[in-house]
A = this chain, B = another copy of it.
Amino acid sequence: MTTPSTQDLLARRERLLGAGVATFYENPVHIVRGEGVWLYDADGRRYLDLYNNVPCVGHAHPRVVEAMQRQTETLNVHSRYLHEGILDYAEHLTSLHADHITTAVFTCSGTEANEVAILMARAATGGRGLIYTQAAYHGNSTEVRKLSRLRGDNEPEFRSIPVPQRYRPIEDGLDDSALTDAYLSRLQAEIDGFAADGIPFAGMMACSILANEGLPDIPPGFMGRAADLVREAGGVFIADEVQAGFARSGNWWGYETTGVTPDIVSMGKPMGNGLPLAGVVASREMVDTFRQRTRYFNTFASSPLQAAVGQAVLDVIEDEGLVESVADVGGYLIDNLRSLQESCEPMSDVRGHGLFIGMEWVKDRESKEPDPEGAEVIVNRLRDTGFLMGRAGEHGNVLKVRPPLVLKREQADMFLEAFETAIAEPT
């Protein structure tokens, strides 16, 4: 069997999946196999995966493969029967969260989790209005799409606030404390705006590390005080942990990086290491109200299969000490990237949490003018030398490093060497 050309594959893809199904990289990668932090293409070429957060414990982790096989050959049914697997999993998962979080609702995707979070916030508060951060992305459904700048502009029940950050602050010349206050006053203005429009307030949703916003350095105290303002106005604070959760930040949950205590937590991507598995956790009272109002049922969710695979992922994170390892390797990476930054003019800011690192790529450090094209050149150079990374952020100019959690220091070194070469030439 001959390997089809990239052009043939792209043409066939457009015919069968439609035009506009984007691929990564100028020269898209035809991946056929994965193992740990490594991906292999159809020509047998090896790539270090510095992008994928879904296979969080590594591609094809044997314990996940085994859990999936064992459960699939034993039983996989919906949740209208009694099954202990999903109860064991819910117990383990909620035990990893703040004390008031005791109860779970499982779904198949992060979008479905955020649908549940919205329904739950509205059921719990009786409100409708929701606040989100600009440049956020929380999912692809009609309602969840409204929690993003592009879709939410003319939606009276959805209002946005600027991305809280130090690098491109909302106002120049403020110290940390004044900057935090400035962002909080924007939040209060939107809460007041709902009141002025007669729209009862339901709450605020934010990714705990503002991943799609480009992992900004959030002004100290902002998240916790934002949650306070939201609750004072009768709303609930929803932490979207779809990208931030499951050890990614070097903590179990992204919300630990800011110290905020969320009322509702949504989770997704890494939760099943590739099996569609997502969900929401909250207090028993909040989940009860949600269930009573919506009679929510999700055919594929809360299944023995989801439970077995989700449990295997938690076990691997614990048994392989990944929270600590991510903090260590992530810290090592960020220190070394900051050293490279010193002699690289366009790389104007290096920041992040654990194994989720963002690097601003700008035309000029003074003006901070974003350079998404330059960032894309770097991404493609690295792809061509066998390192897969990506871009993020409000302006698309933030280089994104987000490998499987099992990345080791020696693999980080391989990346650092390739990265140093890639940024040595002008873009």
Q: Is the CB of B274 within 8 A of A300?
A: yes
Question: Which stretch (A101-109, A321-329, A414-422) binds chain B?
Answer: A101-109
**Interface centre among A62, A94, A291, A300, by most B CB within 10 Å?**
A300
Within 8 A of B (CB), among A32-91: 32-34, 39, 52, 54-55, 59-60, 62, 64-65, 68-69, 72-84, 86-87, 90-91
User: In chain A between 1 and 30, which residues have their CB closer than 8 angstroms to a CB of chain B?
Assistant: 4, 6, 9-10, 12-13, 15-24, 28-30
Q: Is A115 an interface residue (CB 8 A)?
A: yes
- In the complex, the answer to whether A16 meets B140 with C-beta atoms within 8 Å is no
Identify A34's interface contact among B76, B108, B274, CB under 8 A: B76
Query: For this complex, into which size category does the number of interface residues on chain A fall?
Result: 35 or more
Given A13-B87, A90-B16, A108-B108, A33 and B82 touching (CB < 8 A)? no
* A65 to B15 CA separation, bound complex (whole angstroms): 30
Q: Complex Cα distance A275/B290, Å?
A: 26
Q: B68 and A72: CB pair below 8 A?
A: yes
**Contact in complex: A141, B142 (CB < 8 Å):** yes
Q: How far is the CB of A386 from chain B (nearest CB, A)?
A: 14
Q: Which residue of B lies closest to A51 (CB)?
A: B80
In the complex, which residues of chain B have a beta carbon less than 8 angstroms from the beta carbon of A18? 103, 105, 284, 287-288, 290-291
Q: Is A303 close to B, CB under 8 A? A: yes
Q: Please state the number of chain copies in the assembly.
A: 2
Interface centre among A15, A78, A141 (most CB of B within 10 A): A141
A–B complex contacts, Cβ < 8 Å, 26 sampled: A9-B82, A12-B87, A16-B103, A17-B103, A18-B284, A18-B288, A19-B288, A21-B291, A22-B297, A23-B82, A28-B81, A30-B83, A33-B74, A52-B77, A54-B300, A55-B76, A64-B72, A69-B72, A72-B274, A107-B109, A108-B276, A111-B298, A112-B140, A115-B141, A140-B294, A142-B142
Other A-B contacts than A18-B288, A31-B82, A109-B276, 18 sampled, CB-CB below 8 A, are A15-B102, A17-B87, A17-B105, A19-B288, A20-B295, A22-B80, A28-B81, A28-B82, A30-B81, A31-B83, A32-B74, A32-B83, A109-B301, A115-B142, A140-B296, A141-B141, A268-B299, A276-B300
